[in-house]
Amino acid sequence: MRIVFAGTPPFAAAALAAIFEAGIDVALVLTQPDRPAGRGMKLAPSPVKQLAQARGIDVATPETLSLKKGGDAAAAVHQRLRAAAADALVVAAYGLILPQAVLDIPRGLPDAGCGPLKALNIHASLLPRWRGAAPVARAIEAGDRATGITIMQMDAGLDTGPMLLAEATPILPDDSTGTLSERLAAIGARLIVQALRDAVAGRLRATPQPAEGATYAHKLDKREAWLDFAQPAPLLARRVRAFDPFPVACARYGDTVLKFWRAHAEDAPARQPPGTVLAADGSGLRLACGDGMLVVTELQRPGSRRMSAAEFLAGLPIAVGERLHGAPLQPSGA
């Protein structure tokens, strides 16, 4: 069996590592171009590129695979895909749209009831719930009690193809997108190896996705990071976890932006204007919300590290009765 792998972040690198360990032949790896990272914002390769290069695997980093948008550069990558002569394309959090022309290139593994298996996707949700770009964060934000991994056959739709394998995992009360993604990455890595082996052996059977229960996981936006304290505290606590490690929930104290890394919801003793500081001590920064209060136990200010509430308040005291705001400071005259 010979495959091409397409992926970018650590979630995808876990799957690629498992494929290597399983002895599956990887002819070519597609990943996104190097991006600025770290304090110096120097160009850095993706985790998938680093792993592939360490294994001596050929890597392509196209800006797009659309022939209309990418022209000769995209056409050259299409040619490399054809030259790879792969049986299947495996995709995990790649981040670029794969046109049908690319999905049709592999020779295909045995039919599982949905035609030859040419392109398999490792998707971090239990489809059809949370199709789209940010399934882990949206599951946490929505208060879902469980999520999982679905291995699916890719088609022209957005995560609409038939399902081949799936496994659920609970969403723990303190799970962030970071911690849950790590757990899902391990499940996805194991399932894709199983799916490829079962496909070759003819043991896979595809199941169409049901029409009911489909939801869309919109891409995370930095503007969402601002917490609206008029919202219920349980929702804001879920957003703090969902937006860790990106875009990181935040609020404004005067002209200082505070990032919230850990928080939970509690009942409020009395109704106060949203964002009002109800208490500020070693047990947390307690903020009035539209319903209940948000207890922030780990936070950060610009130029500093993440701190417990006790450490933070020792350096930046915040008085009871002051207010935090869920919007950036507007320029004067705006």
pLDDT tens, position by position, 276-323: 999 999 999 999 999 999 999 999 999 999 999 999 999 999 999 999
The pLDDT value recorded for residue 38 is 73
Q: Quick one: average pLDDT of 26-32?
A: 98
d(CA 241, CA 249): 8
Q: Quick one: average pLDDT of 149-157?
A: 94
What phi, psi does 331 have (nearest 5°)? -60, 145
Task: Kindly report whether the peptide bond that precedes residue 173 is cis, defined as omega within 30 degrees of 0.
Answer: no
d(CA 167, CA 182): 15
Q: Using pLDDT thresholds of 50, 70 and 90, give the confidence band for residue 40.
A: confident
**Coil vs helix vs strand at 78:** helix
Which residue matches tokens 């109800």?
A: 278
Sign of the CA dihedral running 304, 310, 316, 319: positive
Percent of the chain with pLDDT over 70: 99
Is the model's pLDDT at 331 over the cut of 80? Answer: no
**Domain 222-315 fold:** Methionyl-tRNA Fmet Formyltransferase; Chain A, domain 2 (3.10.25)
Which residue matches tokens 């009942």?
A: 267
d(CA 313, CA 319): 10
**Coil vs helix vs strand at 12:** helix
For 184-200, write each residue's pLDDT tens digit.
999 999 999 999 999 99
The pLDDT value recorded for residue 270 is 81
- Least-confidence region, from 3-7, 207-211, 237-241: 207-211
Percent of the chain with pLDDT over 90: 93
Is the CATH number 3.40.50.720 carried by domain 2-217?
no
Q: Quick one: average pLDDT of 202-212?
A: 94
Across the chain, what does the average pLDDT equal?
A: 95
Q: Using pLDDT thresholds of 50, 70 and 90, give the confidence band for residue 332.
A: low
pTM across the whole model: 0.95
The pLDDT value recorded for residue 177 is 98
The pLDDT value recorded for residue 42 is 86
The pLDDT value recorded for residue 231 is 97
Q: What is the enclosing helix (H) or strand (E) of 71?
A: helix 67-84
The pLDDT value recorded for residue 36 is 87
The pLDDT value recorded for residue 137 is 98
| 2-217 and 222-315 share one fold | no
The pLDDT value recorded for residue 328 is 84
Domain boundaries, the chain: 2-217, 222-315
Q: Quick one: average pLDDT of 24-48?
A: 91
Sign of the CA dihedral running 29, 246, 165, 114: negative
Q: Quick one: average pLDDT of 100-110?
A: 97
Q: Cβ distance 96 to 61 under 8 Å?
A: no
Q: Using pLDDT thresholds of 50, 70 and 90, give the confidence band for residue 152.
A: very high
Q: How far is CA 248 from CA 16, 44, 103, 241, 295, in A?
A: 28, 22, 35, 9, 16
